[in-house]
Amino acid sequence: MERVVGIGGYFLRAADPAALGAWYRECLGLDADENGLWRQGTGPTVFAAFESETDYFGSRAQQTMLNFRVRDLDAMLAQLRTKGADVAEETQEMEGVGRFAWVTDPEGNRIELWQPA
């Protein structure tokens, strides 16, 4: 059986694509080039389906949620708050998995940040 070998891209609709791209660079440090190519660090990726009625993604209109691995969740959250980003107050810890927090980008997309255990 042929298998996929990784995530090849994640694409977002945006009212202002240039501004949204700038937000991801300036607030999250995502250093994609002019074509969107981003060489990410190696590490785990989770692919999971959720119940259609979940509130985990925030708005029910949001069908998917992007999750970024981070080295230091507390430092990332402080950086985002300094830049005025919409950061959720709550965090979550799952034993053996890691810590989680959420930020909403300027287009209203809820993003999960994960510091693996």
Indicate whether 7 pLDDT > 90. Answer: no
CATH number 3.30.720.110 given to 46-116: yes
- Which residue type, as a one-letter code, is found at position 53? E
Q: What is the pTM of this model?
A: 0.89
pLDDT digits (tens, 9 = 90+) for 13-39: 999 999 999 999 999 999 998 888 999
pLDDT digits (tens, 9 = 90+) for 76-108: 999 999 999 999 999 999 999 999 999 999 999
Classify 28 as helix, strand or coil: helix
- Domain layout of the chain by residue ranges: 46-116
Residue 56 makes CB contacts below 8 A (sequence gap 6+) with: 50, 65
Render the burial of 35-54: b for 16+ CB within 10 Å, e for the rest: eeeeeeeeeeeeeeeeeeee
* pLDDT class of 5 with cuts at 50, 70, 90: confident
